[in-house]
Chain A
Amino acid sequence: NAGVTQTPKFRILKIGQSMTLQCTQDMNHNYMYWYRQDPGMGLKLIYYSVGAGITDKGEVPNGYNVSRSTTEDFPLRLELAAPSQTSVYFCASSYVRGANEKLFFGSGTQLSVL
């Protein structure tokens, strides 16, 4: 069972470059989430999706975009990378809404913007 798979695991970007962080889950979960983790700041929600074709902003959406064309995939797009986006990014999923169900997390993508 793969669970939640994130790629790549590590990436270094130059300022202004763009990239897509991939996230896929094989558990047929409706809810998917993108968090970023900065030291001492906990996890901050970037975007989330309650099902294919439906996305919504979290706490820190600026500089990011998402799409949800299938139940399995929830890619996160950085269009113009900035040093402030240096962080560890986690994708997560749950079958029902977060209040009632545990989240399953991927192993993370460590991104550095230089």
Chain B
Amino acid sequence: AQSVAQPEDQVNVAEGNPLTVKCTYSVSGNPYLFWYVQYPNRGLQFLLKYITGDNLVKGSYGFEAEFNKSQTSFHLKKPSALVSDSALYFCAVPTGGGNKLTFGTGTQLKVEL
């Protein structure tokens, strides 16, 4: 079965420092992978997706994700964190023949001054 795992419940980083939010996947065949962000009291918003091609995917708000097939990982990164990046981040993988998305448990990112 297709699945993703987010090993960290929370990540703390100082503003201006690089940030990484981790995601590993278990997928048969070529993976499609997604990152979404949820700001407080809001629905999820799409950040980026990997389908095929370049291992570094660029997305919204300066985020990027690195696909690593040998480590089965799809980590979300940003070179310089902002306080406004503080939110809940989810990675996701299509399941059910591609008709639906299954989400990881989420990682709370806290960026402090």
Query: Which residues of A are at the interface with B, using a C-beta cutoff of 8 A?
Result: 4, 31, 33, 35, 40-43, 45, 48, 50, 56, 58-59, 90, 92, 97-100, 102-108
Contact = CB atoms under 8 A, between A and B. Distances in A.
Nearest to A43: B103
Contact of A40 (B9, B32, B36): B9
Nearest to A40: B105
B20 interface: no
Interface residues of B, number: 23
Given A4-B43, A48-B99, A108-B43, A102 B104 contact: no
B103 A42 contact: yes
B64 to A, nearest CB: 16
Contacts of B103: 35, 42-43
B94 A98 contact: yes
Interface of B: 9, 32, 34, 36, 41-46, 49, 51, 90, 94, 98-106
Contact of B99 (A40, A97, A104): A97
Contacts of B100: 33, 45, 48, 58, 97-98
Given A4-B43, A43-B90, A107-B43, A102 B99 contact: no
B101 A105 contact: no
Given A40-B9, A42-B105, A99 B98 contact: yes
